[in-house]
Amino acid sequence: MRIMEPPGTIEVLEMAIDAIHARGFEMDPYNETPYFTFSYYNCPIVLSDSSGVREWPAGVSLVHAPDDRRLVRAESADLLNTWFHFDGPGVAACLSEYEIPINTVIDLGDLPFLRPILEEVRQERVQQPLHWQDAVSDLIRRLFREFGALKSDLDNSLTPSQRTQERTLRDIRMRVHADLAHEWTVAEMASQGNWHPTWFATVYTRQFGVSPMNDLLNVRLRHAEALLVHLPMTVGHIASTCGFASVEHFNRLFRKRMGCTPSQIRKQGKR
């Protein structure tokens, strides 16, 4: 009977969940970086990968290997992303097993498993219970297993025409989410792709699992939450920046959707 060797360790060196920087932020380190990095962007973002430099819509991910160029530029909107640096003898085998491309932007949209898994990683790193390093390794393998499965499902489920439609929808979504202060309507969104508003709303909801206006509202609220926690802006300024007609309207919707007031979120973020 063959005895399987345990997989190598994967160490998380540093991480951030929903980190935010103002529009115009740019990072382009050319110094040697002796670790891997996984990044997920909740915003339109200019990135470098093996194909060059271009702007991508919200919802893209990228795994950089040591010494890859790591250009990041928030050109169209504030930067909102989740990332972690990782390394260890188990990394190469993990990325290979789950067919995770290196230095290649991957456009999968929302990753519902990302935040819960990284919250567990954060808890393990802070509390450091017995065998916590093994737990972190297992969690990162689980993250890439989920990521690889989602990528495989999407790769195998779309026809060429569906891929073109998906790309158009993501481009429209990028333009809308890059200008949260604008008073968007479904008709104006649809006009970006020369589509009828009813058809646009139907395919958009099918693609993203949420209607265009509800998706926009969710993004506005998530962005407002990040601004409340990370930047010293007034609630009124945040409300207008994120496209709400008034502070009262913003407060009402925020409390209804988030379960607490903007002031409470700001206090929790400063603990």
pLDDT tens-digit readout, 227-255: 888 888 899 999 999 999 899 999 999 99
**Residue carrying the six token digits 């958009």:** 204
pLDDT tens, position by position, 142-187: 999 999 998 888 777 667 787 788 878 888 887 888 888 999 999 9
Rounded Cα–Cα distance for residues 88 and 159 (Å): 38
Rounded Cα–Cα distance for residues 195 and 216 (Å): 18
pLDDT of residue 143: 97
Nearest to 147 by CA among 122, 103, 110: 110
In angstroms, how far is CA 222 from the centroid of its own chain?
12
pLDDT band for position 3 (cuts 50, 70, 90): very low
Helix/strand/coil for 202? helix
Distances from the Cα of 148 to the Cαs of 11, 41, 99, 113, 221, in angstroms?
19, 17, 6, 12, 29
Neighbours of 251 (CB within 10 A): 16
pLDDT of residue 6: 60
Nearest to 40 by CA among 22, 65, 75, 15: 15
pLDDT above 70: percentage of residues in the chain: 95
Q: Look over the chain and give the mean of its residue pLDDT values, rounded to a whole number.
A: 89
pLDDT of residue 30: 63
Give 60's contacts (C-beta < 8 A, 6+ positions apart).
Answer: 40, 41, 45, 47, 105, 106, 107, 108
pLDDT of residue 269: 62
Rounded Cα–Cα distance for residues 97 and 99 (Å): 6
Rounded Cα–Cα distance for residues 139 and 9 (Å): 11
Q: Which two tokens stand for residue 112?
A: 């519902």
